[in-house]
Structure 1
Amino acid sequence: AMCRLAVPPFAAAGGVEVSTIEEEVGESNGAMLRALKGKYPGGTKLLWICGDDVFRWIEKPKGLQTMAEVSGLIVQRRLHKGGGGDPDKFYKEPLDEGKIRAIGARLKLEIDFIYGELPHFSSTLVRRAPGTWRSFLPQTVARYLDGRPDLLSKLHDNLEADAKIEAMSIPTPPAAKAKRGSPSSSSGGGGVEEEDGSSGEKIAAECVMRGLEVVHSLQFERGQTGLYLSVGTDRLKKDLDDAMSNTDRIVREIIVSAADENNDDEQRRMMNEYDEALALAAELRRIPEWLSRDRRIVRKKATRLRSLRGAEGWEGRYSLVEKFNPRIVIIIGAVVRALREILSNHSDNNDDDDDDAGDATVTLQMRDAPDLLLRWSEGKEALGRLRALVSAGGVHAPAVVRTSIKMRRLLNQFIDTKERRIARVLNRSRGGGVRGPTSIW
């Protein structure tokens, strides 16, 4: 049902079709594909779209059974988790082209590859990601769940259960265990009293998570704005309205919560050591003012800009879309500074603990976190800017690139920036790079 909700924009004649064949057959891939072929005229080509890990099992018995039912493979090159138990290391699996050609000839398969940005993705990443599960779903699917409280409740229960299991599997540093296990002097040994510092740290960390969620939402709205300005169909207008509503919901929650914190003397006292987190909260509260103004301008100029062809129209549309860029960069910078402040205060509060080698390793990893977050944010933003530029170009973008030196140069510049930013992220995930603060853009 959710697949059907997600694909309507692509489901026109000759487009994407959602099949229930897997549910109907309930057997192996080979049996399922055989039944699927039976629904189409003889001679129809069936292509299997898969990840590049297909070559690990393609010549095993079940793999051979599956390959016997398809005409070819479209293989997506993607990142895989690295070895050594480090969840933050990824690599692109090397492929033996000669071996792949031999497999194709032996099994009589056409094999093609997709070379694009498809990051490692898993349910674990969804659970750990900033923001909510809504960030990973089309708005049609989110609305479907909102209208079915029982399903939504199951989703939350599953996420919470998985998070608890995951938390139990993460080793706790000895010093942290000792600190959590020591009784408070004011409690007579009967319990543990949470310190004001840890409460302030929790509020500051929540500001960081909210900031990241806002960045994600603004980046998505930027892309949808470009599509609406360049194409302007009713469906794209609705998609933009949905994106705006999602951004407004997130910002509204932030404003209400921030207002509570600012009116509470006790919370203000707890936040005394978290100036950067407070600065981030203040920056987030300013969003409605500039966002409402920019949206009004988009609505006012949309029709005229959509009618302009060539490089002039593309530049005009992108001039409205790129207004998101400096706003997003400001929030990213505020988020990174707030995170650096949280970790610095956390380290200062634990200076009196007797660190062993394990604690020292954890401390070093914590110190690296702001730089890793910054580089990841730079890579994501560079990719988002490229997509926003292309979205603003519309259906005539390829023709404009061929005829306009200026737009071709601009597009190549964006592609080059994106490649460099993502290379920095991947280099750092393999342990390379230079530590320390970096200026973005």
Structure 2
Amino acid sequence: MFDNLSDKLDKAFHILKGHGKITDVNVADTLKEVRRALLDADVNFKIAKDFTTRVKEKAIGENVLTTLQPGQLMVKIVKDELTELMGGDAAGVNLSGNPTVILMSGLQGSGKTTFSGKLANFLKTKKNKKPLLVACDIYRPAAINQLHVVGGQIGVEVYSEPENKNPVEIAQNAIKHAKANGFNVVIVDTAGRLAVDEEMMNEIANVHKAIEPHETLFVVDAMTGQDAVNTAKAFNDRLNFDGVILTKLDGDTRGGAAISIKSVVNKPIKFIGTGEKMEAIDVFYPNRMADRILGMGDVVSLVERAQEQYDEEEARKLQKKIAKNEFGFDDFLAQIQQIKKMGNMKDLVGMIPGAGKALKDVEIEDDAFKHIEAIIQSMTPAERSKPSLIDVKRKTRIAKGSGTKIEQVNQLMKQFDQMSKMMKMMQGGGGKNMMKAMAGMKGGMPKM
């Protein structure tokens, strides 16, 4: 995400490289490029202009840190201003009700129904809630079925009344059902349209008035850019919603909606969608997003995702296996599955400082591990638990079974052997032995 904007901002900061201090002249040239980068990212002209004006005032003001180079200072100021522009602090979802009623609003095609499921899954797994999904989209063909499918995927009950064509009644009956059956969160998925129209607005306004939700969220497709901001304003004028959800942010290389929307409606972005899987939902942190836009990565989010997948008991078992030299391909495959649960590979790489920029021209597919998985799954249970059994004849069979070449099998075997040795040495003597292991590995760290 934000690839184009990140590249153009990086070029803008290069104007200051080699200068000893910030002056009216060089800051004007830099900010001209910054403004152009924001406009290319589909940021509203007035917002881009006001943004660069504030940056200029701070850059040539009195509070200049003499320890920083002009380029570094400009990056810091732009980061602070971007963070503020996108909302400053992360905004949580209001879960005070019993049950908490959350109304989802937005245009058709924005990903509202899918995100209702993602939000239910998030509240169930991260907040220990018992959510109920409510199908109030009575117009779109198969909308009710879609929500039932989504609910089935995440193990969350879906309330629907297929014969009832009154969304207000359906929502009210669902809340009664939730109270009677111990649900503490009710997520109401409403109908969308292909464009903002009076009939749709009146209907959702009636639902809003009847159920008095604790939280009203506006779901918008980030890839629609400035149109997303204009639509948000139209909805906010009628619903006075509490927060914004940006979907499909993983497919948007411009990022204008994420940057502009807070300024226009003065409502925070609460969540973002970062992929198709039900787990692909993140709380929106403006400061972390500013870091990513400026190519600084997002180590905190990366660590948080890793911690979510960390199982202390499994880690203890793995430690014992490594100590006994019993680490096999089944264990290796389990580690790959853990990494895959953290999110798509391109998104994860973008969280590593400098990696996104270094690999910007490298296509990182979401199924980056598929060849490794195919090779391991083509091994027998005995071969996976005891890799030393795999000879040339077995390698040939494994290559044929996995649809790969024998060279790829050899490469995986070699890298697995190196990794096993490194893990064994890490067990024995901490950092000192780890450095020895890494130094002894031909070609450096194993490549996935």
TM over 0.5: no
Q: Give TM-score, length-normalised by structure 2.
A: 0.28
Structure ranking higher in helix proportion: 1
Q: Give TM-score, length-normalised by structure 1.
A: 0.28
Structure ranking higher in strand proportion: 2
